[in-house]
A and B are shown apart, each in its own frame.
Chain A
Amino acid sequence: IQLTQSPSSLSASVGDRVTITCRASQGISSYLAWYQQKPGKAPKLLIYEASTLQTGVPSRFSGSGSGTGFTLTISSLQPEDFATYYCQQLNDYPVTFGQGTKLEIK
């Protein structure tokens, strides 16, 4: 199952609302997760099962979608949110990741 994220990169300002899209090549129910990764660090789980916020993740992060179309929204960007974001499908083997979206400061 291929996952296509858009955009591949994004420039935004602190306080902006940002949306990242992940499209699956076939239906994956709600078995989609979102991760944040900063340079030199392991990924951090933000959202699982498309819309469930991982414990400890700020409520400005939200996820939605099912089937083949999913979105990650950050309601008001904070300085610590500038990072690369990946979607991941866990509906079938092989587990696959999107190519990533790099979120940069404008």
Chain B
Amino acid sequence: EVQLVESGGGLVQPGGSLRLSCAASGFTFSDHYMDWVRQAPGKGLEWVGRSRNKANSYTTEYAASVKGRFTISRDESKNSLYLQMNSLKTDDTAVYYCAHPHSNNWGGAFDIWGLGTMVTVSS
């Protein structure tokens, strides 16, 4: 069964850092693009960023709102995706989801989602 499980959320002060993890199972992790999406309380969905697959050297893309502060990485040996979040702002408060595109091509929609992990940035 294909599954994504996020962890690492919690309460952090503005300016602080946090690393989220997403454990993947049920598919060949290195072959697939992976994404992070977030949702602030009571708000809509916001794409955070992408890790391409191994064949594309795990290169990354980011939303303008997080570029330079957030970093996406992977550990192939652990089938895990990470989101390192630095210089956190109150606006970063959200549920963070990892998601699996059904295709690595343009148009690959997110067919598998984790349950999400809550990040609260507050003093």
Contact = CB atoms under 8 A, between A and B. Distances in A.
B107 A45 contact: no
Interface residues of A, number: 25
Nearest to B107: A31
Interface string A7-47: 00000000000000000000001110101010000111100
Given A42-B114, A42-B115, A93-B61, A86 B45 contact: yes
Contact of A48 (B44, B63, B109): B109
20 contacts: A29-B106, A33-B109, A33-B110, A35-B45, A42-B114, A42-B115, A45-B109, A45-B110, A48-B102, A49-B107, A86-B44, A88-B45, A88-B110, A90-B107, A91-B107, A94-B63, A95-B35, A95-B47, A97-B46, A100-B45
Interface of B: 35, 44-47, 50, 61-64, 97, 101-102, 106-111, 113-116
A50 to B, nearest CB: 9
A88 B109 contact: yes
A contacts with B: majority SS: loop
